[in-house]
Amino acid sequence: KKSQAWSALFSEPMSELVKRYTASVGFDQRLWRADIDGSLAHARMLAAQAIIGAQDLADIERGMAQIVSEIEAGTFEWKLELEDVHLNIEARLTQLVGDAGKRLHTGRSRNDQVATDVRLWLRGEIDRIAPLLGDMQRAMVELAAQHADTVMPGFTHLQVAQPVSFAHHLLAYVEMFARDAERLADVRKRLNRLPLGAAALAGTSYPLDRHAVARTLGFDGICENSLDAVSDRDFALEFASFASITMVHVSRLAEEIVLWMSQNFGFIDLADRYCTGSSIMPQKRNPDVAELARGKSGRVVGHLMALITLMKGQPLTYNKDNQEDKEPLFDTVDTVSDTLRIMAEMVAGIVVKPEAMERAALRGYATATDLADYLAKKGLPFRDAHEIVAHAVKRAMQQGVDLAALPLAELQAFHPKIEADVLPCLSLRGSLEARRVAGGTAPEQVRAQVARHRVRLG
């Protein structure tokens, strides 16, 4: 009795180690629904083209329905010696319906089958991840909507730079996640082509109707070159790139959340349900969720490296190397989904501490640029104004006070053009409101951003 699909040629069985080493059923069973959907579309087309009989198709449909219920009930017996999800399902089908099961693979190879399955499966996952990116953006936009007037220090080099609103800062991330969503939609576009019909690599002599199968499975078209169809994994690389960039955005946000929650910043607090304590230090509440999100970006970037390296030395067309695409891809999908879900929830529960943000903004001479702009608007060349303000800041530092706390007479000593109307420029509020340029941090600009995002996100 044959123990493998190809074994007539083989004079000895595989060693146990080789069996275990080459099998993928332990993880690729996750593709089962895509595999069955692909097989049914193929079988219906085979029947429509009179390559198999109507009764064969009916038998295949009946058998597949049975297999679906077995898998869903957890009673389906996955066998290591049947190597992968494809051979397991086909073998069970044949067991259930006999010859019709053996006709299913007409004009098909596991090479175009697996390429189709992975695309179908990933497309479904993309359609689940896209709304999560929407939820993430909505959570950020709604938090931002409450904080167009909440001043915090904006940083460069992690040194206080200029005042910005907390809302403006949050909306910077919304821009990033909006680009991620565009990238994801773009991945889906190029992914959504049908490999099936390429067979092993060269196409097939059966009169397959590839376009009909593409329509049945919701693909926008077919892979036009059979060699490319079975060997291309660009869609996985593109998805992993999308996921890596998204996770890097999440990681930067997570890093800021960790910083903001630390005692030295004290800008925000997180709900207890997103924190953990310490087994030794009774006072601790740690932002573990944010730290893990930051950490998990590493594994997703690692998966991108694994996948891209997997492809680099492969001669056309299919090579078994490709079986290694699955675990990184699966884990990427799981990690990015869970991370987006938990971060959106956590962001919605952020407690903002405006006084601490304002105190921090007052500590770093954040309005020094405003004073230089004030002088430049009164006719001084900006470079001269910059130098004059540097002296004023130095004086304020020596006295341990903010620029706004220097008496007007003292400021005037730096330049006579400094007059009483300088005071609003030196306040955080005045600085914020002055930045009315499109995309600037002025509250009216930020409110316009919020409104735009709300419309875009529906």
Active site positions, annotated:
157, 278
Q: How many helices (H) and strands (E) does the chain have?
A: 20, 6
Backbone phi, then psi, for 9, in 5-degree steps?
Answer: -80, -15
Q: Which lies closer to ligand ARG via its Cβ, residue 132 or residue 194? A: 194
Q: Which lies closer to ligand ARG via its Cβ, residue 200 or residue 413? A: 200
Q: Could you tell me how many residues make up the chain?
A: 458
Q: Minimum Å distance from CB 86 to ligand ARG?
A: 6
Q: Minimum Å distance from CB 163 to ligand ARG?
A: 55
Q: Minimum Å distance from CB 167 to ligand ARG?
A: 47
The 100-139 site mask, x for binding ligand ARG (CB under 6 A), equals ----------xx--x-------------------------
**Residue 118: helix, strand or coil by DSSP?**
helix
Please report the DSSP string for 439-455 in residue order: TSS-HHHHHHHHHHHHH
Rounded Cα distance between 178 and 257, Å, is 20
Q: Which lies closer to ligand ARG via its Cβ, residue 201 or residue 376? A: 201
Q: Which lies closer to ligand ARG via its Cβ, residue 28 or residue 59? A: 28
Rounded Cα distance between 225 and 151, Å, is 57
| Chain residues 342-361 in contact with ligand ARG, contact rule CB under 6 A | none
Residues in contact with ligand ARG, counted by CB under 6 A, come to a total of: 10
Q: Which lies closer to ligand ARG via its Cβ, residue 219 or residue 318? A: 318
Residue 230 near ligand ARG by CB under 6 A: no
Residue 233 near ligand ARG by CB under 6 A: no
Q: Minimum Å distance from CB 49 to ligand ARG?
A: 24
Rounded Cα distance between 199 and 37, Å, is 17
- One residue of 84, 135, 232, 433 binding ligand ARG per CB under 6 A: 84
447 burial level (CB within 10 Å; 0-12, 13-18, 19+): middle
In which element (H, E) is residue 165 found? Answer: strand 159-165
| Bridge partners of residue 153, in order along the sequence | 163
* Cβ(278)–Cβ(284) below 8 Å: yes
| Chain residues 269-328 in contact with ligand ARG, contact rule CB under 6 A | 318, 320, 322-323
Q: Which lies closer to ligand ARG via its Cβ, residue 110 or residue 415? A: 110
- Other CB atoms within a 10 A radius of the CB of residue 279 amount to 7
Rounded Cα distance between 348 and 276, Å, is 18
* Cβ(112)–Cβ(214) below 8 Å: no
Structure tokens at 306: 């694994």
Q: Minimum Å distance from CB 29 to ligand ARG?
A: 11
What residues contact residue 429 under an 8 Å CB cut-off, 6+ apart?
151
Residue 387's alpha-carbon distances to 85, 309, 393, 416, 430, in angstroms, are: 71, 52, 10, 15, 22
Q: Minimum Å distance from CB 318 to ligand ARG?
A: 6
Structure tokens at 62: 């009946």
Q: Which lies closer to ligand ARG via its Cβ, residue 89 or residue 143? A: 89
| Chain residues 2-41 in contact with ligand ARG, contact rule CB under 6 A | 24, 28
* Cβ(418)–Cβ(411) below 8 Å: yes
- For residue 204, say if its preceding peptide bond is cis, omega within 30 degrees of 0: no
Q: Minimum Å distance from CB 12 to ligand ARG?
A: 19
Residues binding ligand ARG (CB under 6 A): 24, 28, 84, 110-111, 114, 318, 320, 322-323
